[in-house]
Chains A and B, each alone.
Chain A
Amino acid sequence: MTGVLPVTLEEATKTVQALLHSGKEYICVMKLHGDATEKRVGEVLKEFEDTIYQRPPLRASVKRQLRTRRIYYIDFLEKEKRNVLFKVGCEGGTYIRKLCYDIGEVLGCGAHMQELRRTRAGPFIENGDIVRLHDVAYWFMEWQQKKDERMLRKFIQPMENALTLIPKIYVRDSAVDAVCHGASLTAPGVVSIEGGVSKGSLVAVLTLKGEAVALARAVVATERVLNMEHGIVARVERVLMPRGTYPKAWRSGET
């Protein structure tokens, strides 16, 4: 199976949590074990555009308990004999092999996954900036020889790009170092916040220069944050920026 596999380097590895929650898109060839009309296949695919139940397969890296996964969309593209091509947008952790099996069961004839290509992993898509392993090896070697930073930009992106699909909160310089030390983000530190944050949302905390400071869990919704004068806005889950990047503007000890 091929396609979009974002690889995080060194410190950027702390952002994978955001990627795992950002959804995936695949193009799949499903092989039917019997005959079915194009119309019927299209109808059955649409039935799966919903919250579905899946038990992870025998060979899985997670506990095998029944879990729900959302299928955001599933679009029929083509059918040739018993091969069906479709596109599916789904929650991270959806097993497409299982999905094909289940579609086959509903169709009655049975089916299995023949080919799979991931066309999106969160904000990363297969068009434009996707690179192959040999591009990585080639541009890295070029960079080592010429020390021209443009070579690195041919295949590496800032980790902030991994956070583009989760809601963002921009904070003042004076709030940055406390967050780097794991302190909760409080209302006075917030400069701006994206809409759609609800209690419990995973959010990205960024500086006004656009640097990622931390991944955090919102305690209150966007609307509340805008009117808050004090109190906790989000609790830090993963610090992404090293301490001391911004000056310490908070007092320790007795308050």
Chain B
Amino acid sequence: MPRSLAPWEIERKLLVKAEDKTNPRYGCRPEERSAEEYIRYGVINLDKPAGPTSHEVAAWVKRILALQQVGHGGTLEA
């Protein structure tokens, strides 16, 4: 049996169902968000140091950036 593919090994093709345009008056491309919004809707690809727990590292980021809420994508043990 062939091994199952990792999510990053799967190639996905975009299939068009209908044609439509988006109105520039509403929303904005993610890269064009204002600084405040860019942070509010942001993710940091962080290199976790050895020692502290994932939770502690996330808490440090929260404190450095003076944020209300942070999360992390999967615990990596201390």
Contacts and interface: CB of A to CB of B under 8 A. Distances in A.
Chain B CB within 10 A, most for which of A121, A133, A160, A194: A133
Interface string A38-60: 00000000000110000000000
A9 B74 contact: no
Interface in B18-47: 18-23, 26-31, 33, 35, 38-47
Nearest to B57: A5
Contacts of B27: 176, 207, 209, 211, 241, 245-246
A225 B10 CA distance: 20
Interface stretch (A17-25, A27-35, A78-86, A102-110): A17-25
Interface of A is mostly: mixed
A185 interface: no
B16 to A, nearest CB: 5
A9 B23 CA distance: 28
Contacts of A133: 46, 49, 57, 60-61, 64
B46 A13 contact: no
Categorize the interface residue count of chain A: 35 or more
A136 B64 contact: yes
A3 interface: yes
A186 to B, nearest CB: 12
Contacts of A19: 73-74
B10 to A, nearest CB: 7
B12 to A, nearest CB: 4
Contacts of A8: 42-43, 70-73
Nearest to B54: A5
A140 B44 CA distance: 12
A7 to B, nearest CB: 5
A156 to B, nearest CB: 4
A168 B16 CA distance: 12
Contacts of B13: 194-195
A191 B19 CA distance: 6
A193 B16 CA distance: 7
Contacts of A16: 71-73
A100 B65 CA distance: 37
B9 A207 contact: no
Contact of A13 (B29, B38, B71): B71
A136 B28 contact: no
B15 to A, nearest CB: 6
A143 B54 CA distance: 25
A1 B50 contact: yes
Interface string A137-158: 1001001000101001101111
B52 to A, nearest CB: 9
Which 9 A-B pairs rank lowest in CB-CB distance, beginning with the nearest? A19-B73, A158-B30, A208-B22, A13-B71, A72-B6, A156-B42, A6-B73, A5-B48, A194-B12
20 contacts: A1-B76, A5-B48, A8-B72, A9-B65, A10-B40, A10-B42, A10-B68, A13-B71, A24-B74, A72-B4, A136-B44, A158-B30, A158-B33, A165-B8, A172-B20, A192-B15, A208-B22, A226-B15, A245-B26, A245-B27
